[in-house]
Structure 1
Amino acid sequence: MSRVVPPGPQADLAARRHEQRGWYVYDWANSAYVTTVGTVLVGPYLTAVATAAACPDLPAGAACEGTVDLLGFIAVSPNSLVAFLISISTVVIAVLLPFVGAVADRSPRRRVLLARLAWAGAACAAGLFLVTGDDWALGATLLVLGNAFLAASLTVYDAVLVDIATPDERDAVSSRGWALGYLGGFLLLVVNLGLVLGADALGVPDGLAVRLSLLSAAVWWAGFTVVPYLRLRDRPPTHVVGADEAGRGLLGVARGSVRQLVATFREARRYPQTLLFLGAYVLFNDGVQTVIAVSSIYGSVELGFATEQLIVAIVVVQLVAFGGALAFGRLARRLGAKRTILVSLAVWTVVVAAAFVLPEGRFGLFVALAAGIGLVLGGTQALSRSLFSQLVPFGKQAEYFSLYQAAERGTSWFGTFTFGVVQQATGSFRLSILAVVVFFVVGGLLLTRVDVRRGIADAGNEAPRVV
C-alpha cells in the first residue's frame, strides 16, 4: 500500500480499518503516562523530593516549613509545588497548541509529527527516572515538558480522526480509542501499583520502585507509538493559507503557519455552532476534570478513606471506563452524539449529588460512585471529540483541535478554583463538591442550544445519519 493517500478517509473499508486500528493504539500508548505518571505517582514523588531539598534535616513525621524557589524567584511550599507546575503547564500548553495545530494542518506527514511529539514526551517521562535525592528542579522541568508534548501530540492525534473515519464511523472509532486507552492505562497502573505497594516484599527501595514505574510508562508510551507511526498514511494538506511557502524550509513553514493561524481566528466567527459547542465543552469538561482532581481529597479528608482504599477506587474507575466508553459509543448510534453526551451529563450530576450525601466511611458506596464516574467518563470525552470533529472545517482539523485542547487545559482551573473558594468560605468539602454540579448543568444547557446539523453544514461537512 502506498504511504501517501488522498485527503480524507480511504474509500476501501479494509484500508480504513487498518488505519483505525493503528490510531487506537496511540490512546493505549499515551494513557500509561496519564495514569501512572500524571494521575498517581509523580505528584507524591516530586513532593517528597522537593521536601528533601527544602528541609534536608527534617525529623520523621515532622512538617516541613521550608520552601523551594520555583523559576528562581517564587518561593513555594513543597506540598504546593505540583499544583504550581500544573498551572505552568496549562499556560505553556494554551500558548503552544494553536501553533502546533497550524503546523500540523500544513504538514503532509502528520503521523511523523505525531510520533516525534510522542517520543519527545516519552523521553521527558524517562528522564524522571534520574530524579533522585533533592533534584526537584529536574523533575519539575521534565514534568512541564512532558505534559506539553503530550498535549501537542493529542492535538495532532485528534485531528487525524477526520482522516481515518467517515462521519457515520467517528463516534464508534473515537469511543474505541478512549476505551483502549483506559484499558492500557489500567493494565500498566495495576502492575506499577503492585511494584510500589509491594516494594518491601520484593526487596526494592521505595524510591526506586516509583522511578521504575515512571520509566515503564515512558517505555510503554514510546514503544506503542510505533504502531500508529507505521499504520497511518500521509495525506497532502488542503485549504491552507500560504501553501506555496511549505517548501521553503523551516522559516517558510513557520511563517506560513502563523499566517494560517491568523486566518483561522478571523474566520472562526463564521462557525457560531462550533464556537457554542466549544463553550459548552469548556464548562462541562471543567466539571469532569474537577471531579477527577478533587475526588481523592474528598475521599480522604471528608469521608476518611485510607490511601489503599483510594487506589482501589482509581483502579475501578479505569476498569469501568473501558466498558463505559464502548457502551456510550453504541448508544450514540441510536441517539446521536449530542443526546448521548447530555445523558452522560445527567449521570454526572446524579453522581456528584450522591457524593454530597454519602455518609462517612461507607467505602462500598464510594466504590459504587467510582464505578458511576467510570461509566460516563470515557463516553463524555470520546463523544465530545467525535462531535467536535463534525463541526470543524475540513483541512483545518488540527488548528481547531488545538483550540479544543487549549480550551480544555487552559480553563481547567475554573472548577478547582470554585471548589477551593467554596471550601474556604464555608469550611465544607460537601458544599464544595456540590458546587461542581453548576458546571454540568450550565454546560449541558449550552449544549442543548447547539444546532448540530447547522454547524455541520456551516463547516461544509457531510452529516452522519444520526445527529
Structure 2
Amino acid sequence: MTWASYDFAASTYFGVIPVLIFPIFFATVVAPGPSGDLYWGLSVAGAYVVSGLAAPLLGVLADRTRSRLPLMAAATLACCLATAATAAVAPGQVAAAVVICAVAQTGYFLAMSLYESYLPGITTPADSGRVSCFAWSIGFVGGGVALLAVLFIVRTGPSPGAMTSSGFQTSFIVVALMFALFALPALVGLRRIAVPRSASEPILPVLDLMRSWRMHRQVFTLILAACLINSGIVTVLVFSTKFFASNFGASIDRLLVLLLVFHLIAVPATWGFGELADRWSHTRAIIASLVIWAAGILLMILGRGEWVPVIVVVLLATVVGSTQALLRSLLARMVPIGRAAEFFGFSTLSGRASAALGPLTYGAISAATGSERIALVSVFVFMAAGAVVITRLRFEDAAAPHHA
C-alpha cells in the first residue's frame, strides 16, 4: 500500500496536467491554431527524449549507491516546481511554454521510472499483475481528486464553464501543491522498503546492458513491444482532450466531467485486468486490451455526434491503465531484482525515445493536413506493430521466476 500511494500522488499531476490542462493551454493561450499541436508535440517529445536518456544513468546510480529514494524525491520536486512555474507563462511565449512543460514532464517521467523499479522487489510472479494494476487504479483515484479541484476552479471562476487565464494559473499551482503534499508521506513510507544493491559496475550501463541482449532476449522483446504500444497510448493521452474540443465542440467543463467518468471507470477496470492477467495470462490480457484500443481509436476517427466522446471515454478508460500496468508488471517478472532500476531505466530510455515519435508524427500530420482525424490514423501503426511483437513473446506467465 505504501508503494502504491505514490501512484495516487503522481496521478494528481498526470491525470490533469498533461492530458487536459497543458494541451488546452497550448491551443488557447500559447499558440492558437494548428501550430499548437506541433508545439505541444515538440514539448512532449523533448520530455520523452531527455528523460529517456537520463533514466538509465539514474537507474544505475540508484542500484549502485542505493540512492533510489533521494533521486525519486528530487525528480518529484522538479516536476512540482516546473508545473507551478507554468503559471507565469504569458500568451504567445511559445519557447518558455515548450521548455517549462518539458521540464515538468521530464521530472514526472524520471520519478515514475525510479518508482516502478521498486516493483520487482515487492511482488512475486503470482501477484505482480494484481499489485501493479492495484497501484494504477489507486492512481486513477488521485487523478479524480485533482480533476474535482480543477472542476471547482472552472465553475467558480469569472466565466463559469470556461478556462480563463487566471483559471490556468490557479490550476497549475493547485495541482503542483497537491502532487507535492501527497507525495511526501509516500516518499517517507518508501524508506521502509529494502533496496538490494547490485554488485556489477558497468562503465557504460546502457551499452553494457545492450551487449547482454542474448541473455535477456525475452526482456528485450517485451521492451520493444512496450515501446511501440506506448507510442500510440501517449499520442492518444496527450491529444484526445484537444481532439474532443476541436472535433466535437466539447467545452473545458464537459471535458472535465468526461475525465471524471474516465477515472471512475478506470479504477475497477484496471483492477479487474490485473486479476484477469494473474489468473489467465499477461500477454493474452494485453492483446485483449489492444483490441479495445483499436475500437476506441476507430470510433474517434469515424464517429460523429455528441455521443461519440462518451463511448470513446468508456472504451479507453477500460484499457489505458490496464495496458500500461500489465506491461509494467510483466517486465517486473522478467528483470533481475538486483538490477531492477537499471532495467527499468533502460526501458524508460527506449520507451521514451520511441514514444516521442507518436506525438511528433501526430503533430506534424495535423499541422500539414489540418485534420486531426487523419493524424490519429498514425496511432494504428504503432499499436498494430506492438501487437505483432508481443505475440512473439515466449514467456510462461504461470512460471515466471526472476532471472539472475
Same fold (TM over 0.5): yes
Distance 1:219 1:290, change over 3 A: same
Matches within 5 A, 1:39-54: 39-45=19-25, 50=30
| Cα RMSD, aligned residues only | 3.2
**Residue of structure 1 equivalent to 2:287:** 342
Displacement of 1:371 in angstroms is: 0.7
**Residue of structure 2 equivalent to 1:272:** 217
Structure with greater contact order relative to length (CA < 8 Å, sep ≥ 6): 2
**Residue of structure 2 equivalent to 1:248:** none
Q: Does 1:38 align with 2:18?
A: yes
Matches within 5 A, 1:162-177: 162-177=120-135
Distance 1:420 1:224, change over 3 A: closer
Q: What are the ranges of 5 or more consecutive residues in structure 1 without an aligned counterpart?
A: 1-20, 52-62, 65-75, 243-255, 462-467
Displacement of 1:104 in angstroms is: 1.4
Contact 1:26 1:228 in 2 (8 A): yes
Alpha-carbon distance in 2 for matches of 1:127, 1:419: 27
Contact 2:301 2:377 in 1 (8 A): yes
**Residue of structure 1 equivalent to 2:3:** 23
**Residue of structure 1 equivalent to 2:340:** 397
Displacement of 1:181 in angstroms is: 0.8
Displacement of 1:429 in angstroms is: 4.9
Q: 1:369 aligns with which of 297, 308, 312?
A: 312
Contact 1:390 1:456 in 2 (8 A): no
Displacement of 1:449 in angstroms is: 1.1
Distance 1:288 1:81, change over 3 A: closer
Tell me the matched-pair count.
402
Displacement of 1:153 in angstroms is: 0.9
Alpha-carbon distance in 2 for matches of 1:322, 1:224: 19
Q: 2:100 aligns with which of 142, 146, 150?
A: 142
Distance 1:300 1:277, change over 3 A: same
Q: 1:322 aligns with which of 250, 264, 267?
A: 267
Alpha-carbon distance in 1 for matches of 2:167, 2:194: 43
**Residue of structure 2 equivalent to 1:228:** 186
Amino acid at match of 2:197: T
> Which secondary structure does the structure 2 equivalent of 1:154 belong to?
helix
Sequence identity percentage = 25
**Residue of structure 2 equivalent to 1:448:** 391
Q: Does 1:241 align with 2:188?
A: no
Q: 2:351 aligns with which of 408, 412, 427?
A: 408
Contact 1:47 1:81 in 2 (8 A): no
> Which secondary structure does the structure 2 equivalent of 1:96 belong to?
helix
Amino acid at match of 2:225: A
Contact 1:108 1:234 in 2 (8 A): no
Distance 1:355 1:117, change over 3 A: closer
**Residue of structure 2 equivalent to 1:291:** 236
Contact 2:265 2:314 in 1 (8 A): yes
Contact 1:273 1:454 in 2 (8 A): no
Distance 1:428 1:151, change over 3 A: closer
Contact 1:270 1:458 in 2 (8 A): no
Q: Deviations over 1:131-187 (max 9, x none)?
A: 457766555443222221211111110100112222222111111111111111122
Q: 2:381 aligns with which of 427, 434, 438?
A: 438
Q: Deviations over 1:353-377 (max 9, x none)?
A: 333442x22x224302211100111
**Residue of structure 2 equivalent to 1:352:** 297
Alpha-carbon distance in 1 for matches of 2:341, 2:122: 14
Displacement of 1:89 in angstroms is: 1.8
Contact 2:223 2:351 in 1 (8 A): no
Which structure would you say has the larger Rg? 1
Contact 2:20 2:238 in 1 (8 A): no
Residue range with higher mean Cα deviation, 272-281 or 113-122: 113-122
Amino acid at match of 1:166: T
Alpha-carbon distance in 1 for matches of 2:221, 2:335: 12
Alpha-carbon distance in 2 for matches of 1:421, 1:85: 13
Q: 2:141 aligns with which of 178, 183, 194?
A: 183
> Which secondary structure does the structure 2 equivalent of 1:200 belong to?
coil
Amino acid at match of 1:366: P
Alpha-carbon distance in 1 for matches of 2:35, 2:366: 20
**Residue of structure 1 equivalent to 2:176:** 218
Q: 1:381 aligns with which of 312, 324, 328?
A: 324
> Which secondary structure does the structure 2 equivalent of 1:451 belong to?
coil
Distance 1:135 1:176, change over 3 A: same
Displacement of 1:39 in angstroms is: 2.0
> Which secondary structure does the structure 2 equivalent of 1:269 belong to?
coil
Alpha-carbon distance in 2 for matches of 1:236, 1:281: 25
Alpha-carbon distance in 1 for matches of 2:397, 2:311: 39
Amino acid at match of 1:397: A
Distance 1:148 1:416, change over 3 A: closer
Q: Deviations over 1:59-111 (max 9, x none)?
A: xxxx89xxxxxxxxxxx967743332223222212221111111111132423
Contact 1:94 1:410 in 2 (8 A): yes
Using structure 2 for the length normalisation, give the TM-score: 0.87
Contact 1:313 1:370 in 2 (8 A): yes
Contact 1:240 1:396 in 2 (8 A): no
Q: Does 1:151 align with 2:109?
A: yes
Amino acid at match of 2:200: V
**Residue of structure 1 equivalent to 2:84:** 126
Contact 1:272 1:455 in 2 (8 A): no
Displacement of 1:304 in angstroms is: 4.7
Displacement of 1:454 in angstroms is: 9.7
Amino acid at match of 1:240: A
